[in-house]
Amino acid sequence: MDTGRTEGADFTSHLRLVVKSEPPRCDKMDKRYKLLIIDDNKEILDALYDFLSKKKYDIVSASNGLEGLKLIQNDKQGFDLVITDLIMPDISGVALISIIKKKYPDTRVIAITGWGEHPEALATEAEADHVLEKPFELSELEKWVKKLLSSKYEG
């Protein structure tokens, strides 16, 4: 069809910009959470490190409570969650949890233990967010890690 024009056609486009009144939600999987694992049992420490690293968490580990405490105190960004054994040399997990909850109250803590008839009493005394009794399923640990991290950032 010949319009008699030698240049390109003119047209007008109307785009509508939609702005939502609420800020966009940040998907919790966008953030790489930083976890500290503390256990004096090398096999457990290695197993937890390997498992949680594969789940895309940034993992730092310590083989005793004193080393864990130094890592916590020297880390500028802090840890989103700490997983610690309760019974360890140097500084017990109970003492470590008490220090964490006083100095870094937003840090979530999972206590793990194979000692005693009532490990949850020790963890409750130290104000751990959750306690898992050894042996435990890694899927159970993962469930609690996700639950505690989501409550930290969504609640």
pLDDT in tens, 95-114: 999 999 999 999 999 999 88
29-82: per-residue pLDDT in tens?
Answer: 467 899 999 999 999 999 999 999 999 999 999 999 999 999 999 999 999 999
Instruction: Give the whole-angstrom CA distance, residue 107 versus residue 129.
Output: 9
Residue 20 domain-assigned (yes or no):
no
Q: What is the rounded distance in angstroms from the CA atom of residue 97 to the CA atom of residue 153?
A: 20
Q: Is residue 15 part of a domain?
A: no
98 found inside a domain: yes
The pTM assigned to this predicted structure is 0.78
Q: Tokens representing 56?
A: 């895309």
**Does residue 14 fall inside a structural domain?**
no
CATH no. for residue 108? Answer: 3.40.50.2300
- Helical pair 42-54 and 138-154, crossing angle rounded to 10 deg: 60
Domain-located, residue 90: yes
- 18: tokens are 């939609």
User: Into how many domains does the chain fold?
Assistant: 1
Q: What sign does the CA torsion over 87, 41, 111, 81 have?
A: positive
| Residue 121 lies inside a defined structural domain of this protein | yes
Residue 27 covered by a domain: no
Q: Does 23 reside within a domain?
A: no
Residue 36 lies in domain: 32-154
